[in-house]
Amino acid sequence: MFYRRKSYIVKSDFLEEFNEHFNKTNLPSQLKHGARLIGRWMKDNKNDTYEVFAIWEYESYEKYQRIESNIKEDVAHLQRIKKWYEKNGGREHVYQEYILEVKNEEIVSTVTKVRL
């Protein structure tokens, strides 16, 4: 299995918009193409920002790459993304004003198999 953690630092006043976009646009596209969401959480940083992060599971790194490639070729998804950015002042504006940091990282389990 391959696991990844996708995280964002988002300004508080954009949090509702950001979470709605995930639930209406990004999540359905990921699931449609075969990704498995383990969970998505947020943490108040107490400085007018939140860390929002999701853990995703894939059968393998190669499967993850295929899913990401398929999403990047999904014309309907790309149109929804473009429309969302335009509604919020454009991609550059969103990343300058609202989404301050993005990380996409492989994560590795530290749990060893235990026999009961």
Instruction: CATH number of the domain at 17, please.
Output: 3.30.70.100
Residues of the chain with pLDDT > 70, as a percent, come to 99
pLDDT, tens digit, 9 for 90 and up, residues 62-100: 999 999 999 999 999 999 999 999 999 999 999 999 999
Residue 10 class from Cβ within 10 Å (0-12 exposed, 13-18 middle, 19+ buried)? Answer: buried
Q: Is the pLDDT of residue 109 over 80?
A: yes
Res. 116 pLDDT band, cuts 50 70 90: low
Enclosing domain of residue 10: 2-107
3-19 average pLDDT score? 98
Q: What is the pTM of this model?
A: 0.89
Res. 18 pLDDT band, cuts 50 70 90: very high
Tell me if 116 is assigned to some domain: no
When divided into structural domains, the chain yields a total of 1
93-110 average pLDDT score? 97
Tell me if 49 is assigned to some domain: yes
Q: Which of 39, 10, 31, 9 is nearest to 77 (CA)?
A: 31
Tell me if 114 is assigned to some domain: no
Amino acid 114: pLDDT: 73
Tell me if 38 is assigned to some domain: yes
Q: Is the pLDDT of residue 115 over 80?
A: no
What end-to-end distance do the CA atoms of the chain give, in Å?
22
Average per-residue pLDDT for the chain: 96
Q: Which of 32, 20, 36 is nearest to 74 (CA)?
A: 32
